[in-house]
Amino acid sequence: MGKPKFLVSTGAGISAESGISTFRDAGGLWEKYPVMQVCSADGFRADPELVHRFYNERRKQLQQAKPNAAHAALVELEKDYDVYVITQNVDDLHERAGSEKVLHLHGELMKMRSVKNPDYVEPLDIEHLETTPRTRGKNGDLMRPHIVFFQEPVPNMEAAAALAAEADIFVVIGTSLAVYPAASLLYYVRPGVPIYYIDPKPANVSGVPNVTVIRETASKGMEELAKLLEKKKAD
């Protein structure tokens, strides 16, 4: 018999402990930048130079960040579970921590993609963190940040929903459950599957069955979750 399928949906809260600015909290990025100016399709069309600069800054910030205890705890769970991470975050902290199966809903900061062909993607590295509207890929295409902007479809959502429907355990970490379609993953989980929601300021999930709310930061919440899972196995 294979390992239970353990699906984790992560948001900005798990990366905040690594020093990466969230968008929505006080002092977050949306107070410094109008969101539709730097994170929307319209904004990119209006001022691509600004959008490239914005993500260049995010990449530089990412180089100073390291995976935290919550990222490490998810890797540790791979000993007992078939762990798959679906993340709204565009950083690579899950991968750097050692998570083997990561699906990015909103794109990846350390990649760029063709302006005209969204399937053509190239990785960036520490020596090449900056892009401009004039940056071209190896195939000659003009490139843009590999980010799903507001006003654009979320291409990996169908795959994420399929994973949620197969989960034996579903965990949500560090998200306000305010960003759709990512927040709707809860509703793809099969009836009876246990759901755990880790966040210091959780959204109201009283209408969702089988949810255990852990009102903690990501790292502390993962410690609490590990204890709950051990107790469940012992029962």
Task: Point out the residues that are catalytic.
Answer: 106
Under DSSP, the state recorded for 215 is -
CA separation for the pair 4, 56 (Å, rounded): 39
- For residue 86, the one-letter residue type is I
Name the percent of the chain in helix, strand, coil, to the closest 5.
Answer: 35, 20, 45
DSSP reduced 3-state for 40: strand
Host H or E run for residue 81: none
Do you find a cis peptide bond into 181, omega within 30 degrees of 0?
A: yes
- Do 16 and 174 form a contact (C-beta atoms < 8 A)? yes
Q: How far is CA 202 from CA 13, 49, 70, in A?
A: 11, 36, 17
Count of alpha carbons within 13 angstroms of residue 65, beta-carbon side: 25
Q: How far is CA 35 from CA 25, 29, 39, 77, in A?
A: 13, 8, 5, 35
- For residue 69, the one-letter residue type is A
Residue 100 in tokens? 């083997």
